[in-house]
């Protein structure tokens, strides 16, 4: 990308951000998530476009330039527009054709300032394999506005994990777009534990015979708000998608799950399954869950289901009748609810650390 081209992209994006402004709860996509606190922070900081001539280093690989900004459309998304206008660097990962990377690639974004726009571009060549773990964290009050673009070539195998461990007073908007090639096998796991006001978006487009799995776990307590928006677009025939998102809500926390599935006219023989399960531990916690199916093909199988429940009284009594105290029984059952998402994590170190974090979190609730 030449400096001129980069500048053009950024100026267009910034202009678009100004036109769109931050979304309000009048926008259908943001009905249950009020980003006014982020907007107020924005007003105070007064965003201004970056200096002329771009800021990507001259060393930014020419082959990456054709991808950057191509998969994350900002026309209808103020946060993506803002990120595109203002990101400082790009974390660029390229796995060449046929290369198999065994060890997980760890990307850590520890918030450096009051506001940051992490940008990640992952290009996986045909038949290549890789695992990527993106972790977001920080301390104090800040706003992280992240965009990740993934291009997975035909026949590639990509496992992506996003671990959101932002500070308890942070705002986080993270948007991921993945364009998946023919017969690619892709999984995206979103673990959302931190933050005061959080929006996670996962948007994938499948090609012919693509297999996509979207897993998610969100845990909210206190006055936390976490919104998960996912979009799965079956553009070509014979694609398979499985989605399982689970939420645990306590205190006065609130959460949103919105699962959009689009099956294009061409995408016959699509097989898609979506499940959202929520465990509500307090009277004041609120969950809004909504499937959104748009099906334009006629020979497809699409199922969806959502549940909202409390801890099972019979299970509680069974545990207590064996001498396990009420609070421990509660923790045990809550942990068990999250267990199948944890079990699906293939990165052992991540699995271990999450088990520890969850264990501590549930015991925190007890005190």
By CB under 8 A, the count of residues binding another protein is 24
Supply 107's token pair: 């990307």
Position among 3, 36, 223, 336 found at the interface with another protein (CB under 8 A): 336
Cα angle for residues 83, 86, 88 (degrees, 5° grid)? 105
CB of 332 to another protein, least distance (A): 6
Residue 310 is a binding residue for another protein (CB under 8 A): no
Burial class (CB in 10 A: 0-12, 13-18, 19+), 360: exposed
Supply 91's token pair: 């974390």
Residue 32 is a binding residue for another protein (CB under 8 A): no
Position among 45, 339, 346, 359 found at the interface with another protein (CB under 8 A): 339
CB of 323 to another protein, least distance (A): 4
Nearer to another protein, 77 or 277 (CB): 277
Nearer to another protein, 24 or 320 (CB): 320
Cβ-contact 112, 140 below 8 angstroms: no
Cβ-contact 220, 191 below 8 angstroms: no
CB of 316 to another protein, least distance (A): 9
Residue 324 is a binding residue for another protein (CB under 8 A): yes
Task: For residue 222, give every residue at least 6 positions away whose Cβ sits within 8 Å of its Cβ, in sequence order, or none.
Answer: 168, 251, 252, 253
Position among 332, 344, 351, 355 found at the interface with another protein (CB under 8 A): 332
Position among 103, 283, 298, 314 found at the interface with another protein (CB under 8 A): 314
Residue 320 is a binding residue for another protein (CB under 8 A): yes
Quote the CA–CA distance of 175 and 119 in Å, as a whole number.
10
Task: For residue 353, give every residue at least 6 positions away whose Cβ sits within 8 Å of its Cβ, in sequence order, or none.
Answer: none
Residues that bind another protein (CB under 8 A): 312-315, 317-326, 328-329, 332-333, 335-340
């Amino acid at each position: 990308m030449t400096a001129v081209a980069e500048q053009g992209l950024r100026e267009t994006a910034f202009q678009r951000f100004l036109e769109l402004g931050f979304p309000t709860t009048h926008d259908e996509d943001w009905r249950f998530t009020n980003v006014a606190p982020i907007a107020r922070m924005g007003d105070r900081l007064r965003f201004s476009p970056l200096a002329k001539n771009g800021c990507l280093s001259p060393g930014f690989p020419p082959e990456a330039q054709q991808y950057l900004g191509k998969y994350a459309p900002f026309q209808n998304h103020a946060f993506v527009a803002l990120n595109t206008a203002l990101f400082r660097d790009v974390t660029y990962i390229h796995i060449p054709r046929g290369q198999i990377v065994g060890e997980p690639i760890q990307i850590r974004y520890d918030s450096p300032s009051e506001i940051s726009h992490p940008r990640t571009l992952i290009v996986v060549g045909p038949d290549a394999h890789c695992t990527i773990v993106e972790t977001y964290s920080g301390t104090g009050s800040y706003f992280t506005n992240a965009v990740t673009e993934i291009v997975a070539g035909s026949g590639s195998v990509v496992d992506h994990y996003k671990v959101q461990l932002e500070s308890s007073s942070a705002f986080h908007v993270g948007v991921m777009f993945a364009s998946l090639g023919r017969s690619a096998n892709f999984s995206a796991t979103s673990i959302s534990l931190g933050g005061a006001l959080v929006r996670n978006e996962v948007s994938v487009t499948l090609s012919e015979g693509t297999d996509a799995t979207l897993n998610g776990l969100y845990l909210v307590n206190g006055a936390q708000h976490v919104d998960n928006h996912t979009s799965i677009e079956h553009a070509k025939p014979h694609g398979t998608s499985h989605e399982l998102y689970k939420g645990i809500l306590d205190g006065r926390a609130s959460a949103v799950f919105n699962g959009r599935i689009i099956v294009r006219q061409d995408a016959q023989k699509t097989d898609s399954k979506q499940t959202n399960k929520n465990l509500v531990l307090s009277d004041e916690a609120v969950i809004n869950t909504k499937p959104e199916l748009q099906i334009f093909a006629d020979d497809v199988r699409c199922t969806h289901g959502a549940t909202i429940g409390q801890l099972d009284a019979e299970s509680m009594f069974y545990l207590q009748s064996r001498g396990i105290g009420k609070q421990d029984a509660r923790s045990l059952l809550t942990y068990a609810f999250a267990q199948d998402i944890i079990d699906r994590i293939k990165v052992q170190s991540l699995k271990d650390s999450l088990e520890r974090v969850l264990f501590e979190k549930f015991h925190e609730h007890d005190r």
